Chain A
């Protein structure tokens, strides 16, 4: 078991791209940690630098209290599952799983034994003598996991673990992965561009953009109180409403209405801000709220995403429960739930406390 400590880490590619830019990060022992961000944000490079597949340009990587910055990948006691699983096509499932032991020079019998032990918990028992090409995507992923587990390393790194599975299997695999991680208690870091995956799996999430961490926190913190407009935009399956607003007499003037400023924030009159609120936290109904004309209704299954056009050409999205969809062209008032309105300053940073009470 081992925690990971990343100190001032930068990884610069030969073409001058700073994929990871002076990053500090501490991952606790046994934690399930997500690196989340859009493609090209450096999350995979960071993972590969932790694994030792990329050379750190500056800074240090400490695993289990040991500085491994210049150490070969194989000597870091880090197991990794690649996005394409990288199962060796010429070896059977058992040989693949036993491979970390073969490298260490353990006997064939011992390799087989470990392969059988490991595969049992991953429902691969009957497949040990098949080749990877004969397995389904989900089975291949479990073989890759089994191989990583067989290495008996303190740290498990997963590069986009669910992206190669089809949509339905992905949900199953997600549940499975979460249970597996809890049972093994391995420090696990995974990379994903899918915010739902990160929210569902991780104990803590680092949201990255252009080589830097934009917010670090629990899924709840990241979802409810995004530290800046980038994170606010990125997290959530329906995009957060981010509206230009102005502070007036202790209120936020947005889309033709005045909403109460969140407590603990006092700003001078006329300060331009961005008001943010998730569609899930807006209720259709009467009362104080943003009023507009319904322009589109998108069915999300159990609810619908309604977009209303408000004064000043602002588009505001809100979700309504099924059977309560408004007619297009109708006038609707969207009322924010108490305490859910977020206010960002001109630089896009959240005003008020960043932490949430859980």
Chain B
């Protein structure tokens, strides 16, 4: 190996190492800071203790907010997956003029509908509906925002399921409901699993909508509560935040591992001409 190549290679690995460290540091912090007697923003070998965990569990809102997150997420994910599956199936199988255009427009608008641009109208609408401070109402809005993309991804997935499966079941005398439960849903299961995880993770990390629509601290999900974890002086409460962050990250990781083990991530989305 020539010296020039050696230098090149060393340079390459240095750059990679710096990049990796950039991503690794927060992870290591998440693993060490919760168990450090004096957690700081820096990364260091912890002085092991479980006091932070105790403090966090005694925090009046911390665990409750994670439960709130879970409720909102499960509702939003269930609504998204159910409606997206039904809509995707219908859109895949029934010919409607302008169907593809409609899907693209929906997808385009979805980022606007729940994005910052619509904050005020959404707030006003939910206020008039009396759904402020309602976890269900918030879940509904989150689901509404996720549906177009979910339908888009699932429709593409259902498109790849041959019609002859359903026709075959029909010839054997299956009712439309039997066709759905015996054939279409099982065959589309990896796609639905993808949507479930995607929707859950999206809803779990959603800050803006619950922040906007849930004003009562006791009903706020973790993503919103995290922002208010500070002491009287207004500086970050570093005894609670590390443990809380760790707890907050667990469901997403568990979900990913479970689904990946069961189905593997066969991602079928994308655009077909």
Seen from chain A, the residues whose Cβ lies within 8 Å of a Cβ on chain B are 14, 51-53, 72-75, 78-80, 82-84, 86, 88-90, 99-100, 102-104, 147, 151
Question: Which of B19-27, B143-151, B166-174, B200-208 interfaces with chain A?
Answer: B166-174
B37 adjacent to chain A (CB < 8 Å): no
CB atoms of B164 and A88 under 8 A apart: no
Chain A CB within 8 A of B230 CB: no
A103 contacts B164, C-beta separation under 8 Å: no
A88 to chain B: which residues have CB within 8 Å?
165, 168-169, 182-183, 186-187
Within 8 Å CB of A72, what residues of B?
170
**B162 CB–A CB distance under 8 Å:** yes
How far is the CB of B133 from the nearest CB of chain A, in Å? 44
Q: In chain B between 171 and 188, which residues have their CB closer than 8 angstroms to a CB of chain A?
A: 171-175, 178, 182-183, 186-187
User: A79 and B171 in contact (CB under 8 A), knowing A84-B164, A86-B165?
Assistant: yes
A90 touches which of B164, B170, B186 (Cβ 8 Å): B186
B167 proximity list for chain A (CB < 8 A): 53, 73, 80, 82, 86
CB-defined contacts of B183 to chain A, threshold 8 Å: 88
A103 & B162 in contact (Cβ 8 Å cutoff): no
New A-B pairs, 8, CB < 8 Å, besides A88-B165, A88-B183, A99-B172:
A73-B167, A73-B171, A74-B172, A74-B173, A80-B171, A83-B164, A90-B186, A103-B172
Q: Kindly provide the distance from the CB of B183 to the nearest chain A CB, expressed in whole angstroms.
A: 6
- Report yes or no: B171 in contact with A78, Cβ–Cβ below 8 A: yes
Chain A neighbourhood of B175, CB < 8 A: 74
Instruction: Write out, one digit per residue, whether chain B residues 86-127 have a CB within 8 A of any chain A CB (1) or not (0).
Output: 000000000100000000000000000000000000000000
Q: Evaluate contact between A86 and B172: CB separation under 8 angstroms.
A: no
Contact A103 B178 (CB under 8 A): yes
Report the bound CA distance from A83 to B169 in whole Å: 15
Q: Are B173 and A86 in contact (CB under 8 A)?
A: no
Interface residues of chain B, those whose CB is within 8 Å of chain A, are: 95, 162, 164-165, 167-175, 178, 182-183, 186-187, 189
Docked pose: A81 CA to B178 CA in angstroms: 19
Q: Considering only CB atoms, which chain A residue lies closest to B170 in the complex? A: A73
Residue in B162, B172, B189 whose beta carbon sits within 8 Å of that of A100 in the complex: B172
- A53, B162: Cβ atoms closer than 8 Å: no
Check A99–B169 contact: CB distance below 8 A. Answer: yes
Q: For residue B187, which residues in chain A have a CB less than 8 angstroms away from its CB? A: 88-90
| Given A82-B164, A86-B164, A90-B187; A53-B169 close (CB under 8 Å) | no
Q: B95 — which chain A residues lie within 8 A by C-beta? A: 14
B174 lies within 8 A of A80 (CB): no
Q: Determine the chain B residues whose CB is within 8 A of the CB of A80 once the complex forms.
A: 167-168, 171
Q: Which residues of B contact A99 (CB under 8 A)?
A: 169, 172, 182
Report the separation of the CA atoms of residues A147 and B164 in the bound assembly, to the nearest whole angstrom.
Answer: 14
How far apart are the CA atoms of A87 and B57 in the complex, in Å? 53
Min CB–CB distance B72 → chain A (angstroms)? 32
Complex Cα distance A79/B165, Å? Answer: 14
Contacts of A86 in B (CB 8 A): 162, 164-165, 167-168
| A103 and B171 contact, Cβ closer than 8 Å, known pairs A86-B164, A88-B183, A88-B187 | no
A53–B171 contact, CB under 8 A?
A: yes
Contact of A51 among B169, B171, B182 (CB under 8 A): B171
Q: Which of B167, B171, B183, B189 counts the most chain A CB atoms within 10 A?
A: B171
CB <8 Å contact, A82 and B168: yes
Give the residue name and chain of the B residue nearest to A100 (CB): B172
Can you give 6 A-B contacts (C-beta < 8 A)? Answer: A74-B170, A82-B167, A84-B164, A86-B162, A86-B164, A151-B172
CA distance A151 to B173 in the complex (A): 9
Report A303 CB to chain B, min CB distance, Å. 40
Chain B neighbourhood of A103, CB < 8 A: 169, 172-174, 178, 182
Contact partners of B186 in chain A: CB under 8 A? 88, 90
**B189 contact set on A, CB distance < 8 A:** 90
Q: Is the CB of B168 within 8 A of A75?
A: no
- With a CB–CB cut-off of 8 A, which chain B residues contact A78? 171
Nearest Cβ distance between residue B166 and chain A, in whole angstroms? 9
Which of chain A's residues have a CB closer than 8 A to the CB of B168? Answer: 80, 82, 86, 88
Which residue from chain A places its CB closest to the CB of B183 in the assembled complex? Answer: A88
Distance, CA A102 to CA B175, complexed state (A): 12
CA distance A72 to B171 in the complex (A): 8
Nearest B residue (CB) for A81: B168
Docked complex Cα distance between A103 and B167 (Å): 14
Q: Given the complex of chains A and B, what is the CA–CA distance between A80 and B173 in angstroms?
A: 11
* Bound form: Cα–Cα A80–B169 in Å: 10
Q: Which of B164, B167, B172, B186 has the most CB of A within 10 A?
A: B172
Contacts of B172 in A (CB 8 A): 74, 79, 99-100, 103, 147, 151
Chain B residues near A14 (CB, 8 Å)? Answer: 95
Q: Bound complex: CA of A225 vs CA of B165, how far in Å?
A: 41
